[in-house]
Amino acid sequence: MNKEEFMRKAIALSIENVAKGGGPFGAVIVKDGEIIATGVNRVTSTCDPTAHAEISAIRAAAKALGTFNLSGCEIYTSCEPCPMCFGAIYWARLDKIYYANTKTDAKDIGFDDSFIYDELELKPADRKLQSEPLLREEALKAFEEWTKNMDKIEY
């Protein structure tokens, strides 16, 4: 299969998911020219706000490959990733993102992530979602233990 065929698969998944009552998003993860995982938006069907197509595909790919490091893989997604999925793609170390619809296309149908990008630019005290540091000195113990642990698996 070529890039266009992989993207057509992601788009087909998104259309099929709408027909099943889900969100209009689909994703395909490819390694060495083979599809190793797919995902669709399952936010409402699973009552999980993190169950976006890209996250679902990443979880399936990691399970299929037995690793959290998806280097050597590419993701084809029917829409430009939201901030959460974009971060997950980076953390999974995927080599490349291909996307069809843009974040503006998504915004036009009610999936507007721009407020998150705007919030990230603000100091925590100025964000709409209030946050407050609490018990940092106690929490640093875990970081100290991590630093000392010679058997840790870095990611």
So which residues are the catalytic ones? 54
CB 61 within 8 A of CB 73: yes
DSSP SS3 for 60: helix
At residue 118's C-alpha, the angle toward residues 112 and 123, to 5°, is: 145
Helical pair 53-65 and 83-92, crossing angle rounded to 10 deg:
20
Q: Can you count the helices (H) and strands (E) in the chain?
A: 7, 4
Pull the structure tokens for residue 133. 């540091």
